[in-house]
A and B are shown apart, each in its own frame.
Chain A
Amino acid sequence: MNKEWPIWEIFIRSKNGLEHRHCGSLHAADEEMAIQNARDVYTRRQEGVSIWVVESKHITASNPEKNGEMFEPAADKVYRHPTFYELPDEIKHM
């Protein structure tokens, strides 16, 4: 048998109230080892209070070659932002 341990993506919540953020990856044979490795590799300096691990192969990513059609159409939809609407300065709390 000659099988490499799969790659896992590691997400850490740095403190309660904040979202988990991707911080890197590592190798582990199973999810239990992935959690333990993540704890030892990525939280040595108190970086986290919660860990998520996802085997990399389970992540589906958008295709960067389609970035144009995926993301550029949002660029001119300025009416989604508050600054699009002009109000007189006297109006407060809005």
Chain B
Amino acid sequence: MLQEKLYDYLLHLGDNSMILGQRLGELCGHAAELETDIALTNISLDLFGQVRNYFQAAAQIKGGDATEDSVAMLRYEHEYKNTYLVEQPNEDFAHVIVRQFFFDVYHQLVLNELMKSKNETLVAIAKKSIKEVDYHVDFSSTWVKRLGDGTEESHAKMQTAVNILWRYSMELFKATEIESWAADSGVGPDLDQLKPIYLERVTSLLQEATLSLPEETVFQYGAKTGMHSENMGFILAEFQYMQRAYPNMKW
């Protein structure tokens, strides 16, 4: 029972990194500047590295024939526990950067707590991942500032992205049953406590970038409990394609 909960919690952690990594992977070869292309791919690689760590642990719990790939790729849509935020499409570079920034700040807070987890595997993964994610925060923050306080056009595009994506941000902090269990049992962070720090960090950086949060936002919740947006089916159509079309094969 305990192991089952830990399994589900690993999915919570891994799915966010995985779907965001997948979104960034779609951009590889399509960034305007080679330097930026390489940077975004690096982030994607970091995230997939973390996913493999989480899902190798998950596969071990599951036992039997389970592998990191079966955990990653052989679930139905409603069994994925990532948030709406990370499944949002790469509309333009502003969306890519703002989505990244909103996630990175959350990700950093979570990993910092996970380093104190009662679960040793999570401590080890968090210790390795935090260095990567500290850099992600630096990277996305500087880009938010650059483009927020760049030209009128770049400012407008960034503000639009903030307005569109902010509605998906609070889902990060709305604990599911599993996340509450993790918090209560000292395995994972208490998201309620992280939320005010998050709001403070995001608002102050946006301010520096001459951007602001929309005044009234109706937040969207549900992806974490399996009610995904229309994007998710298409993401999985690609992500699972080979495993579904050619089942039970080694690659």
**Chains A and B directly touch (beta carbon < 8 Å):** yes
Chain A contacts to B: CB under 8 angstroms? 1, 5, 26-30, 32-33, 36-37, 39-41, 44
Chain B contacts to A: CB under 8 angstroms? 33, 35, 38-39, 42, 135, 138-139, 142, 146, 151
Q: From known contacts A1-B151, A36-B139, A44-B42, infer whether A29 and B146 are also in contact, taking CB-CB under 8 Å.
A: yes
Least Cβ–Cβ distance between B101 and chain A, in angstroms:
15
The closest CB in chain A to the CB of B151 belongs to: A1
> Contact between B38 and A40 (Cβ–Cβ < 8 Å)?
yes
> Contact between A27 and B151 (Cβ–Cβ < 8 Å)?
no
> Contact between B142 and A41 (Cβ–Cβ < 8 Å)?
no
A-B contact pairs, 25 of them (CB 8 A): A1-B151, A5-B33, A26-B35, A27-B33, A27-B35, A28-B35, A29-B146, A30-B146, A32-B142, A33-B35, A33-B142, A33-B146, A36-B39, A36-B138, A36-B142, A37-B38, A37-B39, A39-B135, A40-B35, A40-B39, A40-B42, A41-B35, A41-B38, A44-B38, A44-B42
The residues of A that contact B151 with a CB separation of less than 8 Å are 1
The residues of B that contact A36 with a CB separation of less than 8 Å are 39, 138-139, 142
Dominant SS at the B interface?
Answer: helix
Least Cβ–Cβ distance between A32 and chain B, in angstroms:
6
Least Cβ–Cβ distance between B113 and chain A, in angstroms:
26
The residues of B that contact A5 with a CB separation of less than 8 Å are 33
The closest CB in chain A to the CB of B42 belongs to: A40
A-B pairs, top 10 by smallest CB distance, nearest first, are A37-B35, A40-B39, A40-B38, A40-B42, A41-B38, A26-B35, A32-B142, A36-B139, A27-B35, A41-B35
Least Cβ–Cβ distance between A44 and chain B, in angstroms:
7
The residues of B that contact A28 with a CB separation of less than 8 Å are 35
The closest CB in chain A to the CB of B142 belongs to: A32
The closest CB in chain A to the CB of B37 belongs to: A40
The closest CB in chain B to the CB of A42 belongs to: B38
The residues of B that contact A39 with a CB separation of less than 8 Å are 135
The closest CB in chain B to the CB of A34 belongs to: B35
Question: 16 new A-B pairs (CB below 8 Å) besides A28-B35, A29-B146, A40-B38?
Answer: A1-B151, A5-B33, A30-B146, A32-B142, A33-B142, A36-B39, A36-B139, A36-B142, A37-B38, A39-B135, A40-B39, A40-B42, A41-B35, A41-B38, A44-B38, A44-B42
Least Cβ–Cβ distance between A33 and chain B, in angstroms:
7
The residues of B that contact A32 with a CB separation of less than 8 Å are 142
The closest CB in chain A to the CB of B38 belongs to: A40
The residues of B that contact A29 with a CB separation of less than 8 Å are 146
The residues of A that contact B142 with a CB separation of less than 8 Å are 32-33, 36
Least Cβ–Cβ distance between A46 and chain B, in angstroms:
13
